[in-house]
Structure 1
């Protein structure tokens, strides 16, 4: 059997789960009474997600995504590890695990329709050439009326290491111009579009153009009010003291149409810049995010 047949055979008893091939990538399609979602084996990446009672996606995906080896699908929740953003010496932004196939250790669907998935990747010769540390990395997903993702880093080597990391979460909006983001007031952010200038956030956030900000000193839950779809998307987190808010406006990256920036914003649970994580030999650290949605009125 090939890899696709093997996955469908191994998890044949997991109701609501099917593996398909689109382009170069193998995808897990989830369809249960509680939720619909797609997860890529490459990168253990949530590609899209919504509760079954929502008409619109909650986790956004580009209209015309590419499913290519070595490229993240534009949208979803790419895993950025063991560095977030640019590397000082390598051209590979956001680390290397989002381009590698992960092993699905276990998948189980509860009787009510909640899907649980456990993905794993470990160091190999290729990873050690890029980043010389031993590790075991797990992604634990609970996919139902809420989407909960935990990224668990286990230092399996003999020396401590430090990482930055993130869950690059794309949220689906009816229109950014009528969107308000609450929960980051009273802090400050580094503005990447203005030379990382330190800027106070005195009020709620509105999206009036391109933004690329790292908010510091915050463990707060963020609420994204989407007036067009009459709902509030709630982004909670654990193991993080920094939050990224990003929208490219019309200067969109590859895999995305310029007009699509009006329908998405990234609100990301991260450890970025000065918010680094040090992990001793044998130690585990968790970065987590939980996304939920409720009516606005």
Structure 2
């Protein structure tokens, strides 16, 4: 007899992308092989926790808007990264934002279940899949664990014979009732770079509230942050390891109309808090060295 408490995993194609849909007693998860990208995460009986654009385009060689894209081996505009990260690129001045791995097919290493939990692991080896303009040997893995919460661990291993400098992020899009009504706690007192005002260095006073376009890089961040969403009576709690920087982003009205795969009226329903290693928090790996960055995402009653 079928036991509904046991997890199930289904492989499917969403337009051009191979994906896996995972059901557990707690939640449903959708992951694409391209980019090892979590596309959606929704606990049963709740609103989605991870936001996915209603205009998302599931095409090969194109990142999907929403979910949790992996940004690696640099974050954002390469020219805004530390000099040592910029120096790893040898392919000329024109580089895609957020690195080179979001649009690559990763290898599925395995799917395992342990009681009610499901564990998926993906890998990308730059020796087998060379990255244009980045002629270095590295092994990248993304471990995904779904149980009562969602845990993502990004591992970077330098398999070359010279040091590597990287910046990276798990570019998490969170679903919210209305970004104008939510707050982010945990970053009070942190310094941040206000990228919309000439990259000025400022300090956060109390919780973050949202009244316009927001694009900030928070520095020396704590291990716990949360989105307080009173309309949906929940707290999206983020517990991070080996990350001391975070990016908080919402496009608001004008930029939303310029974004690809993004409805002009979708901005109130999403908010990005990106677990990161950027700016002075970038990663420098010795030959043979591996570093991991983890975020645990929990939806808790408020």
Aligned to 1:81: 72
Aligned to 1:271: 277
2:186–2:222: 8 Å Cα contact kept in structure 1? no
Q: Which stretch shows the higher mean deviation, 87-96 or 209-218? A: 87-96
1:235–1:267: 8 Å Cα contact kept in structure 2? no
TM-score of the aligned structures, taking structure 2 as reference length? 0.90
Query: How far does residue 95 in structure 1 lie from its aligned partner after superposition?
Result: 0.8
Cα distance in structure 2, aligned partners of 1:242 and 1:59? 20
1:208 aligns with 2:211: yes
2:121–2:142: 8 Å Cα contact kept in structure 1? yes
Cα distance in structure 2, aligned partners of 1:162 and 1:219? 23
1:140 aligns with 2:143: yes
Aligned to 1:68: 59
1:170–1:266: 8 Å Cα contact kept in structure 2? yes
Cα distance in structure 2, aligned partners of 1:98 and 1:258? 24
Aligned to 1:32: 24
Cα distance in structure 1, aligned partners of 2:218 and 2:16? 36
What is the root-mean-square deviation of aligned Cα atoms in Å? 1.4
Aligned to 1:226: 229
Task: Please list the CA deviations of residues 41-77 of structure 1 after superposition, one character each: whole Å capped at 9, or x if unmatched.
Answer: 000000000222x421001111121101121111110
1:101 to 81, 91, 105: 105
Query: How far does residue 127 in structure 1 lie from its aligned partner after superposition?
Result: 2.7
2:223–2:241: 8 Å Cα contact kept in structure 1? no
1:262 counterpart SS class? helix
1:51–1:144: 8 Å Cα contact kept in structure 2? no
Aligned to 1:7: none
Aligned to 2:82: none
Query: How far does residue 15 in structure 1 lie from its aligned partner after superposition?
Result: 5.0
Q: Which runs of 4+ in 1 moved over 6 A?
A: none
1:161 to 155, 161, 164: 164
Query: How far does residue 32 in structure 1 lie from its aligned partner after superposition?
Result: 2.0
Cα distance in structure 2, aligned partners of 1:66 and 1:80? 19
1:288 to 283, 289, 294: 294
Cα distance in structure 1, aligned partners of 2:7 and 2:301? 29
1:44 aligns with 2:22: no
1:58 aligns with 2:49: yes
Q: Which stretch shows the higher mean deviation, 263-272 or 86-95? A: 86-95
Could you list the runs of 5+ residues in structure 2 that have no partner in the other structure?
Answer: 1-5, 80-92
1:90 to 81, 94, 99: 94
Aligned to 1:185: 188
1:23 aligns with 2:22: no
Aligned to 1:173: 176
Cα distance in structure 2, aligned partners of 1:122 and 1:139? 12
Could you list the runs of 5+ residues in structure 1 that have no partner in the other structure?
Answer: 1-13
2:115 to 104, 111, 126: 111
1:43–1:79: 8 Å Cα contact kept in structure 2? yes
TM-score of the aligned structures, taking structure 1 as reference length? 0.91
2:127–2:138: 8 Å Cα contact kept in structure 1? no
2:266 counterpart SS class? helix
Query: How far does residue 128 in structure 1 lie from its aligned partner after superposition?
Result: 4.6
Cα distance in structure 2, aligned partners of 1:186 and 1:15? 42
How many residues were matched structurally?
Answer: 281
Task: Please list the CA deviations of residues 128-175 of structure 1 after superposition, one character each: whole Å capped at 9, or x if unmatched.
Answer: 542121011111110122110000001111011100000000110011
Task: Please list the CA deviations of residues 237-270 of structure 1 after superposition, one character each: whole Å capped at 9, or x if unmatched.
Answer: 1111101100000212211112111011001110
1:98 counterpart SS class? coil
